[in-house]
A and B are shown apart, each in its own frame.
Chain A
Amino acid sequence: MNAFFAIIHREVLLVLRRKSEALTVLFFFLIVTSLFPLGIGADVALLRKIAPGVIWVAALLSTILGLQRLFASDYADGTLEQMALSPTPFVLLVGGKITAHWLLCGLPLVFLAPFIGIQFDLDLETLRTLILALLLGTPILSLIGAIGAALTLGVRGGGVLLSLLVLPLYIPVLIFGAGAVFATSAGLDVGGHFSLLAALLVLAIAFAPWATTAALRIAIE
């Protein structure tokens, strides 16, 4: 288990040394979500209505942006090979990398959400649902995305392929994540949406690291 924390520590350290990469993702999220209120104008009712969808779509896209670098540099400099040959189970290290990706690219989105919500004039109740939904949903995005990142590793023009591969798989998260926020603003019960998101998360935790590991082994060979 120490190796799991060691790799998270490593990823955080690497991002701290090269902050621009992680910041790009956050600013992308911030800017895209800010463009909508600016473009649409002060139609508060419309903004409230589109807020869940816009914020979730921006979250999906900025996750994709961070995914391309998830394994690429380790693959290029040979550290991925070393991880595959380490006495530590490869899947544990891969799981650590995915966790680190969420901590650095997913969790900050959750913290940014309240500020973005203000631009869409969301009330407190809806904001709370948005934060909770993002907290449950963004790890799923990182987990599913990691499979795509591993499958497109070493493929020329892999970035576009990665988006085509992963975005359709994000649809359930988008539906239930945005659905929860919309339901709250409409005064409906959100329990069902959260249960489904949590179920998706459990499913992703159980399968995604293994699938990613298998794909990485193929890429290394």
Chain B
Amino acid sequence: MAGVVRSSHFLFMTAHFPSSLASSVANGQLRASQLTCLRGERILFEGLDLHLDAGEWLHVRGENGVGKTSLLRLLAGLAQPASGGIFWGGLSITIDPSTYHQHLFFLGHRDALKEDLSALENIAIAAALDGQRISEDRMLAALHRFGLRGREDLPVTCLSAGQKRRVLLARLLLRSSQLWILDEPFNALDSQAIKMLERVIGEHIAAGGMVILTSHQEVAIPNGRVIEL
């Protein structure tokens, strides 16, 4: 895994928000071969191959219940495939999960927020659990970017579904991981927030990041590929 030297142009571009883009320390590549996923007795998909290089993103599409979420959970390492393997930088993710997790940010269906804590506390604690040291200014900036100015100290219970989702998305900006796996990231977001998220994903891709997401809507970000399940 070679370290990547960023061009000065890129540094300038990201000066306002270095967080998500300081990401790709090691340049990984995700590859999955001959994946088979079982749900009970039923085969959701089999013989699935995919690969993703730095600066690319993948749109997983398909009808409800076809196994999009299952695929994402397999790729994140939350579940084990019935057969086949997943490789990060050529190394199976089951062999060295902790290295893989350093480069991975997974956003699932559920909010993963503590209702009794404020948005800022939630973000601060999530970062601390990941072993990150982040200044409060950066956390506030991330929340403000997703339009939560003035709501940083409210308990998350008081926020709407869309706002909760925004809190979670603010974590995207703070976790410097190269690979983002996002399950329905546009859910519950208003059109303005959707645009915002598309821009954040676009910046991440442009900076050599990788994104895999599921969504039922068209996503206008360059360098993407679609995989139909």
The answer to whether B131 and A3 touch across the interface, beta carbons within 8 angstroms, is: yes
CB distance from B71 to the nearest CB of A (A): 14
Nearest B residue to A220 via CB reads B78
Segment of A86-94, A143-151, A191-199 engaged in the interface with chain B = A86-94
CB distance from A187 to the nearest CB of B (A): 50
Nearest B residue to A87 via CB reads B102
* Count of interface residues, chain A, beta-carbon cutoff 8 Å: 26
The answer to whether B129 and A81 touch across the interface, beta carbons within 8 angstroms, is: no
The answer to whether A87 and B131 touch across the interface, beta carbons within 8 angstroms, is: yes
The answer to whether A85 and B78 touch across the interface, beta carbons within 8 angstroms, is: yes
A24 at the interface (CB under 8 A from B): no
B190 at the interface (CB under 8 A from A): no
Write out, one digit per residue, whether chain B residues 148-160 have a CB within 8 A of any chain A CB (1) or not (0).
0000000100000
The answer to whether A85 and B117 touch across the interface, beta carbons within 8 angstroms, is: no
A100 at the interface (CB under 8 A from B): no
The answer to whether A82 and B106 touch across the interface, beta carbons within 8 angstroms, is: yes
A43 at the interface (CB under 8 A from B): no
Contacts of A81 in B (CB 8 A): 78, 106, 108, 110, 112
A2 to B127, alpha carbons, bound, how many Å?
11
A70 to B121, alpha carbons, bound, how many Å?
20
The answer to whether B79 and A221 touch across the interface, beta carbons within 8 angstroms, is: yes
Contacts of B73 in A (CB 8 A): 221
Nearest B residue to A1 via CB reads B131
A161 at the interface (CB under 8 A from B): no
Contact of A87 among B79, B98, B108, B110 (CB under 8 A): B98
Contacts of A88 in B (CB 8 A): 129-131
Helix, strand, loop or mixed for chain B's interface? loop
CB distance from A69 to the nearest CB of B (A): 13
Nearest B residue to A80 via CB reads B112
CB distance from A98 to the nearest CB of B (A): 15
A41 at the interface (CB under 8 A from B): no
Contacts of B78 in A (CB 8 A): 81, 84-85, 220-221
The answer to whether A77 and B110 touch across the interface, beta carbons within 8 angstroms, is: yes
The answer to whether A79 and B130 touch across the interface, beta carbons within 8 angstroms, is: no
A84 to B126, alpha carbons, bound, how many Å?
12
Please report which residues of chain A, range 37-93, place their CB below 8 angstroms from some CB of chain B when the two chains form the complex. Answer: 76-79, 81-89, 93
The answer to whether A77 and B101 touch across the interface, beta carbons within 8 angstroms, is: no
A3 to B121, alpha carbons, bound, how many Å?
15
Please report which residues of chain B, range 86-145, place their CB below 8 angstroms from some CB of chain A when the two chains form the complex. Answer: 98, 101-102, 104, 106, 108-117, 121, 125-126, 128-131
Contacts of B108 in A (CB 8 A): 78, 81
The answer to whether B112 and A82 touch across the interface, beta carbons within 8 angstroms, is: yes
B77 at the interface (CB under 8 A from A): yes
B215 at the interface (CB under 8 A from A): no
B interface residues with partner A (beta carbon < 8 Å): 73, 76-80, 98, 101-102, 104, 106, 108-117, 121, 125-126, 128-131, 155
A interface residues with partner B (beta carbon < 8 Å): 2-3, 6-7, 9-10, 13-14, 17-18, 76-79, 81-89, 93, 220-221
Q: Can you report 6 A-B residue pairs in the complex whose CB atoms are below 8 A from each other?
A: A2-B131, A76-B110, A79-B113, A81-B106, A83-B129, A93-B129
Extra contacts besides A10-B125, A77-B111, A85-B76 (5): CB < 8 Å: A10-B114, A77-B112, A81-B108, A86-B131, A87-B101
